[in-house]
Chains A and B, each alone.
Chain A
Amino acid sequence: MPRPIATRYARSGDVRIAYQVVGQGPLDLVFVPGFISNLDLHWEDEGYSRLLSRLSAFSRLILFDKRGTGLSDRVDAHALPSLETRMDDVRAVMDAAGSSRAAILGASEGAPMAILFAATYPERTRSLVLYAGYAHFHKWVMDPVRLQAFIEATETSWGTGATLQNFAPGRLDDARFAAWWARFERLSASPTAAAALARMNAEIDVRGVLASIRAPTLLVHRRNDARVDPDASRYLARKIPGARLAEVSGRDHPIWTGDVNRVADLIEEFLTGTHAPADTERVLAALLVTRISDTARLGDRMWSERSQRFHETWRLLVGRHGGRIADQHGEVMISRFDGPARAIRCAAALREAAQGIGIASAQGVHVGEVELRAAPSGLTMRVALQIAEHAGRDSILASRLVADLAAGSGLRFSDAGRVVLDDLDDPLALVEATSEQHLEPACQSRTVAAEPSALTARENEVVALIADGKSNATIAAELNLSEHTVKRHVANILMKLDLPSRAAAAAFAVRQTGPDGP
């Protein structure tokens, strides 16, 4: 959040409605949120924040929490107001913000409210955008049996984030988002209010007013929306005069999840007639695709625990290496870096973390142009994913271009042949980040004295054996250690002596002790 957003309160009857105004665009855009909301919390989620930033870049965006939710006054949960009263809160907020006429964006449960507003106040509705909207709850959201189960779950587990599976199943294994969602539940509505809201939403039926809407209308719906059947928007498209329907790919329901930029593009184009110029801005970036798998047949429970631990470590390490979390689908994680060397160093740290946790990793790195503000997609992304698919266990595979660009970084690569990829005409040359190399010199102090005394007795033994040209496996056998431990010793030796390779370590040992050894 770049700056604090002022929260103000509009008076609607006896109730105070919290609202925020952000952006400096010529048109007013009122966002009518879905089931629950909390103005303060929205800015703490990356996707929500991106959505609001995009919308406020071309409009004066007016946000509010419905009565009984978020920062607005609590109301008697056993006598929640009708849809009409809640719709009137939109008018009260517009009055307070000095908006006589605005574009209304209704998302999910906010859509019927927006529909009712557009039908009631045509002179104040500049245009109407409905995202994952519906006119009748039972027909397109939940039948009475499923609703009852949802309400019972609300009674027992509200505030734990358990409703996430109903809204964004694609984010279930994103621990940070799941934790945010649980806070979102707690800070947006009390358990009783949540159940009452669900019951009240079930009574929504605005089919009768659709034909009277006069405002230009855009409908946006994700084809596999987990909560609201896309047929709901197809119905709206038939009934609202002149409405345009845009179906987009995706499964997660909340407007601030999934491909937020795609939705924002559609809304911006509809309301302003143009694309944001920055949307086509492309930058050079390195993409790291990290795949993990259960090669040890751990069983579901243990795998799930370890996978979650790795996901948390992944977020931490990507941040530590100056990267950004870009996307994540179950066991495939995608991060973005400004430079390829950082991506490789992060990959090395992730491989080590995976080994520590006891799971297998396979990673791919590619560099190319990506959209500046979008989650990576397109050619660079597809190539990075395919490289990761070719990577073997614990291996870090990269396109040759990555190695070329990382020249001078001290990283070492070995040739890994060529692969034919669907998207490219010519076979793509690959390299493997070499495993003996210590790959994190940039994170370590470089001022260590290059003297044998800096090494432990055991490390001196290992250096001497390296100088004899022995492999890790042989050294392991001679010193009665595991090969993994030997690898660790080699890595430590290279780091302490600030040497680029085991050959250099061998030369160093010879220089220090003479050809006959210590």
Chain B
Amino acid sequence: MLATKEAVTGASIKKAIESRDGPMLSSFYADDALVRVIDRNNPPSKPREIRGRAAITTFWDDICSRAMSHRVDLTIAQGDNLAFSQDCAYPDGTKVFCAAMLELKDGKIARQTVVQAWDE
């Protein structure tokens, strides 16, 4: 298990996402964390589920390997819940918008739901 370099806060998530720091992002998650992604291909009744830190690490490595820009606009914290919205753009102009809801447990992300929409 990687040592947590920073506490999981809106500011640390913003920094890791905007600098495309995959290892940092992965270190925010609990070992048995669950990430659910809802988008056009993965509707609410069948979201794509990424379970466990190993799979989540691969997920962030894949996303962070894209030469794209991310901007985290808004983060809201309430107790053990965090939410943020994110604007992303690919070099060819394709834009993506995501909204994420997170549940923290013992200072780590235990559960995250991402809803995303793409230019296509």
Contacts and interface: CB of A to CB of B under 8 A. Distances in A.
A23 B120 CA distance: 8
A3 B118 CA distance: 13
Interface in B16-66: 37, 39-42, 46, 48, 55, 59, 62-63, 65-66
B4 interface: no
Contacts of B37: 26
B90 A24 contact: no
Contacts of B92: 8, 21, 96-98
A512 to B, nearest CB: 58
Which applies to chain B's interface (DSSP): helix, strand, loop or mixed?
A: loop
A22 interface: yes
A22 B120 contact: yes
Interface string B60-82: 00110111100000000000000
Interface in A1-26: 3, 5-6, 8, 21-26
A293 interface: no
B120 A98 contact: no
Interface residues of B, number: 23
Nearest to A19: B92
B116 interface: yes
A96 B63 contact: no
Interface string A267-280: 00000010001100
Interface in A58-113: 58, 95-101
Interface residues of A, number: 26
Contact of B91 (A5, A27, A28, A96): A96
B65 A100 contact: yes
Chief secondary structure at chain A's binding surface: mixed
Interface in A186-226: none
Contacts of A278: 46
B120 to A, nearest CB: 7
Contacts of B39: 24
B94 A21 contact: yes
B86 to A, nearest CB: 14
B19 to A, nearest CB: 14
A28 B62 contact: yes
Contacts of B116: 24
B38 to A, nearest CB: 10
A100 B62 contact: no
Contacts of A25: 41, 48
Contacts of B62: 26-28, 101, 126
Contacts of A95: 67, 91
Given A57-B41, A98-B92, A26 B59 contact: yes
Contacts of B68: 98
B41 A24 contact: yes
A99 B41 contact: no
B65 A24 contact: no
A335 interface: no
A100 B66 contact: yes
A56 interface: yes
B120 A100 contact: no
Given A56-B41, A278-B46, A24 B55 contact: no
A60 to B, nearest CB: 8
A65 B94 CA distance: 20
A341 B90 CA distance: 51
Contact of A23 (B41, B46, B55, B67): B41
Interface of A: 3, 5-6, 8, 21-28, 56-58, 95-101, 126, 273, 277-278
26 contacts: A5-B120, A21-B90, A21-B92, A21-B94, A23-B41, A24-B39, A24-B40, A24-B41, A24-B116, A25-B48, A26-B37, A28-B66, A56-B41, A58-B48, A96-B91, A97-B90, A97-B91, A98-B66, A98-B67, A98-B68, A98-B90, A99-B65, A100-B67, A101-B65, A277-B46, A278-B46
